[in-house]
């Protein structure tokens, strides 16, 4: 039960940052199911060319109170999914709850649900609503639905409302991860939706290694990728647990590791390869990293490790939960993960073995001694949109401002936090009831940085900037340090500056140093993608797995030619047609 509860906490904190879009081909927002397999002939987005949005001059727009109350009260309709994670109190429900009442009392917005369905039915039900043309006033959509609404001229242009009413805090959060999310919502120089930003940037990779096994084999912390591979082979061949059996592995892989962008790609990054990323090759064009020569070099490295016994030979048939059993059983020496790897992956091992001082996080080493550029996704999780003709598009902006204020900016009003965000025990996430949300790309890292400054300077102003949730994480880590609460170990090694080398410090430095390789295609799937991308992703995963687990490296060259012939070459042309209109995303007026 502890492990299940922990995984729920981690999932809430990371807001699905660890599960990146399938094969990273388009934005493929998280509410979509197999969106790359949908038909409908989605067009390449008609976003503005460089400078097109300059026709909107913010200096000529009068900024207004971002929390100005409508008087008289207005009505706003929406559609929702059931929120099973919320525990309703005092007779509240999806139609009458603390957020809806606060909207009406403080913003003058009376929200009415047209319908509420099980979350598994939300995409289909929204599709039917779009097809009917009878839309709610404000609602959330995925990238495919967003493009369909635009193609059929069903959305209100919210440019003016945004420029007039967006709060400084909300704008800062929408752009904290770069210009990509807002740019994804622009068509023809107009802002057609509010991007539901994610915190994928925080989820960049590092690795966790067992220092007790290093000591047992008299090995040092690897400084290069070559040294790391030597250590991983030693972990599998030199009996680091001294039990006289060849029963240890170095790397955690599963049958699904290469089906989507995941931390299994981290080894590729060390070889300057990005198997699930569209990146600029220096010529001003995007290329798909999965077919580049560097990917072949990384596969050769994975293959060497597999052949040496460093990878479980059954990885091609086991799922994540089965692979995790080996970690808990004390048989795995290293994992590729994010800073949060101490939670859902390593915490169960620590609780099972009581070994609290053996796992340590380190930045990825490279093959040339230079800092590794780390992949991160850029697409928003979805869009909040306003139906065309709705008289009060600024209502959506005001609700977003309130969400930002309550979830991120309020760090001192405890009663307000308990009312709108979370209960005292952290078991009732009422913030899910809010209608327009956007996650802060660097929320947890910013919390960590303020904790560092507080400890370094003694200035309590830095501590006061930490969100209530961030403070609770920190306090959990301190309880492990001072009281030995083993269930809080993961916060100590992840989130507490007092620890010798917390994982967040590594991630924070990589972000500050801009050791990043963003996925530069974040638009809706192109026409050929809707037909071919799922097949190409499956083919890539199949070939990668085959090569690693005993196949020939020559399979890669054959795969590259097949990838191009099966639609990849045409998709690359379509992606670059999109990219030429998005290179200067940072210049649009909504980002500046």
Query: Could you write out the three-class secondary structure of 360-382?
Result: EEECCCCCCCCCCCEEECCCCCC
Host H or E run for residue 112: strand 109-117
> Rounded to whole angstroms, what are the CA distances from 397 to 166, 304, 438?
6, 53, 11
Among the listed ranges 258-262, 365-369, 376-380, 477-481, which one has the minimum average pLDDT value?
Answer: 258-262
| Closest C-alpha among 452, 463, 440 to residue 495 | 452
Tokens 């994982």 belong to 503
Determine the 3-state secondary structure of 376 from DSSP: strand
Give the closest residue to 321 by CA, choosing from 333, 329, 313. 329
Task: Give Cα separations from 239 to 218, 222, 228, 233 (angstroms).
Answer: 12, 19, 17, 11
Is it the case that residue 466 has pLDDT exceeding 60? yes
Please give the average per-residue pLDDT across 205-220, as a whole number. 98
Side-chain-facing half-sphere of 585: CA atoms under 13 Å: 24
- Can you spell out the DSSP letters for 150-199? HHTT-B---HHHHHHH--HHHHHHHHTT-SHHHHHTEETTEE-SEE----
CB 222 within 8 A of CB 231: yes
**Percentage of the chain with pLDDT > 90?**
86
Q: For residue 560, what is the enclosing H or E element? A: helix 554-563
Q: φ and ψ at 247, to 5 degrees?
A: -135, 25
Q: How far is CA 400 from the centre of its chain?
A: 20
- Per-residue pLDDT reduced to its tens digit, 30-83: 333 333 333 333 333 333 343 344 467 777 889 999 999 999 999 999 999 999
Map out the domains of the chain as residue ranges.
Answer: 40-198+381-433, 205-337+525-580, 443-514
Tokens representing residue 103 in the block: 């909207």
**Cα dihedral angle (304, 309, 311, 317), rounded to 10 degrees?**
110
For 280, residues 6+ apart whose C-beta sits below 8 A from its C-beta are 286, 287, 520
**Residues 75 and 110: beta-carbon distance below 8 Å:** yes
Q: What is the pLDDT of residue 436?
A: 97
- Give the bridge partners for 186, in sequence order: 191
Q: What is the dihedral of CA 519, 524, 529, 535, to 10 degrees?
A: 70
Residue owning tokens 């091609």: 316
Q: How many residues does the chain have?
A: 592
Q: What is the pLDDT of residue 55?
A: 62
Which of 52-66, 289-303, 323-337, 465-479 has the lowest average pLDDT? 52-66
How would DSSP label each residue in 448-499? HHHHHHHHHH--HHHHHTS-HHHHHHHHHHHHHHHH--GGGHHHHHHH-TTS
CA distances from 55 to 156, 160, 274, 591 (A): 18, 12, 37, 14
Distance of CA 113 to the CA centre of its chain: 28
DSSP 343-358: HHTTHHHHHHH---SS
Neighbours of 494 (CB within 10 A): 29
Asked whether the beta carbons of 578 and 26 are under 8 A apart, the reply is no
Give the 3-state secondary structure of residue 374. strand
Strand, helix or coil at 143? helix
Percent of the chain scoring above 70 in pLDDT: 91
> What's the whole-number mean pLDDT along residues 425-442?
95
3-state secondary structure of 90: coil
For residues 488 and 343, give the distance between their C-alpha atoms in angstroms, rounded to a whole number: 9
Residues 126 and 133: their CA atoms lie apart, in Å, by: 11
pLDDT at res. 589? 84
**Preceding amide of 574 cis, omega within 30:** no
Nearest to 218 by CA among 203, 205, 234: 234
Of the listed ranges 21-30, 169-178, 392-401, the one predicted with least confidence:
21-30
d(CA 210, CA 252): 13
Q: Residue 86 and residue 422: Cα distance in Å, rounded?
A: 10
Residue 585's pLDDT is 86
Calpha distance 213→215 (Å, rounded):
5
Q: Are 203 and 346 in contact (CB under 8 A)?
A: no
Give the residue, 556 or 7, on which the prediction is more confident: 556
Fold (CATH) for 40-198+381-433: D-Maltodextrin-Binding Protein; domain 2 (3.40.190)
| Distance in angstroms between the alpha carbons of the first and the last residue of the chain | 47
Dihedral over Cα of 556, 561, 565, 569: its sign: positive
Q: Record the pTM.
A: 0.89
pLDDT at 581 over 60: yes
Domains 40-198+381-433 and 205-337+525-580 agree in fold: yes
Question: Distance between CA 572 and CA 564 in Å, rounded?
Answer: 9
Tens digits of per-residue pLDDT, 438-459?
999 999 999 999 999 999 999 9
Show the CA angle centred on residue 32, arms to residues 437 and 428, nearest 5°: 40
Mean pLDDT of the chain: 91
Q: Which CATH number is correct for 205-337+525-580, 1.20.1250.20, 3.40.50.300, 3.40.190.10, 3.40.50.2300?
A: 3.40.190.10
pLDDT confidence tier of residue 145, bands split at 50, 70 and 90: very high
How many CA atoms, within 13 angstroms, populate the side-chain half-sphere of residue 217?
Answer: 20
Position 531 pLDDT exceeds 90? yes
CA–centroid distance for 379 within its chain:
9
Dist CA 149 CA 27 (whole Å) = 16
Sign of CA dihedral 264, 269, 273, 278: positive
């Amino acid at each position: 039960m502890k492990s299940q509860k922990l995984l729920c906490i981690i999932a809430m904190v990371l807001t699905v940052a660890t599960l990146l879009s399938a094969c990273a081909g388009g934005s493929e927002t998280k509410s979509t199911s197999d969106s790359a397999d949908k038909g409908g002939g989605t067009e390449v987005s008609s976003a503005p060319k460089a400078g097109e949005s300059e026709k909107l001059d913010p200096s000529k727009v009068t900024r207004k109170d971002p929390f100005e109350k409508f008087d008289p009260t207005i009505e706003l309709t929406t559609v929702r999914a059931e929120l099973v994670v919320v525990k309703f109190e005092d007779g509240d429900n999806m139609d009458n709850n603390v957020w809806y009442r606060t909207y009406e009392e403080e913003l003058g917005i009376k929200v009415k649900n047209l319908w509420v369905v099980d979350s598994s039915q939300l995409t289909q039900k929204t599709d039917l609503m779009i097809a009917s043309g009878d839309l709610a006033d404000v609602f959330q959509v995925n990238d495919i639905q967003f493009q369909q609404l635009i193609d059929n001229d069903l959305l209100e242009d919210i440019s003016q409302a945004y420029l007039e009413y967006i709060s400084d805090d909300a704008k800062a959060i929408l752009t904290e991860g770069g210009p990509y999310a807002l740019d994804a919502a622009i068509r023809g120089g107009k802002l057609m939706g509010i991007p539901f930003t994610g915190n994928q940037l925080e989820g960049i990779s590092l690795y966790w290694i067992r220092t007790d096994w290093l000591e047992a084999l008299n090995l040092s912390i690897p400084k290069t990728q070559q040294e790391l591979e030597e250590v991983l082979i030693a972990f599998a061949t030199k009996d680091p647990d001294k039990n006289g059996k060849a029963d240890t592995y170095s790397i955690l892989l599963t049958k699904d590791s290469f089906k989507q962008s995941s931390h299994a790609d981290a080894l590729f990054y060390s070889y300057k390869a990005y198997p699930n990323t569209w990146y600029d090759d220096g010529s001003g064009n995007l290329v798909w990293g999965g077919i580049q020569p560097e990917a072949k070099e990384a596969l050769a490295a994975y293959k060497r490790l597999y052949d040496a016994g460093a990878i479980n030979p059954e990885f091609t048939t086991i799922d994540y939960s089965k692979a995790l059993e080996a970690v808990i059983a004390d048989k795995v020496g290293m994992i590729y993960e994010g800073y949060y790897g101490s939670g859902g992956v390593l915490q169960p091992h620590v609780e099972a073995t009581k070994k609290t001082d053996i796992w340590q996080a380190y930045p990825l080493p490279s093959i040339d001694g230079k800092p590794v550029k780390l992949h991160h996704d850029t697409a928003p999780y979805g869009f909040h949109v306003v139906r065309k003709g709705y008289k009060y598009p600024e209502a959506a902006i005001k609700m977003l401002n309130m969400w930002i204020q309550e979830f991120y900016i309020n760090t001192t009003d405890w009663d307000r936090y308990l009312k709108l965000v979370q209960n005292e025990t952290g078991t009732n996430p009422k913030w899910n009831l809010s209608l327009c949300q956007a996650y802060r790309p660097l929320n947890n890292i910013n919390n960590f940085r303020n904790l560092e400054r507080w400890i370094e300077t003694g200035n309590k102003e830095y501590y006061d900037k930490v969100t209530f949730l961030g403070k609770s994480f920190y306090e959990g880590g301190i309880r492990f340090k001072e009281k030995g609460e083993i269930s809080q170990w993961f916060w100590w090694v992840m989130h507490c500056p007092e620890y010798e080398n917390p994982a967040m410090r590594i991630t924070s430095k990589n972000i500050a140093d801009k050791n990043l390789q963003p996925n530069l295609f974040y638009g809706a799937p192109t026409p050929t993608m809707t037909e071919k991308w799922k097949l190409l992703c499956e083919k890539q995963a199949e070939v990668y797995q085959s090569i690693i687990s005993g196949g020939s490296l020559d399979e890669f060259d054959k795969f590259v030619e097949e990838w191009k012939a099966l639609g990849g070459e045409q998709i690359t042309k379509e992606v670059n047609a999109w990219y030429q209109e998005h290179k200067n995303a940072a210049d649009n007026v909504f980002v500046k």
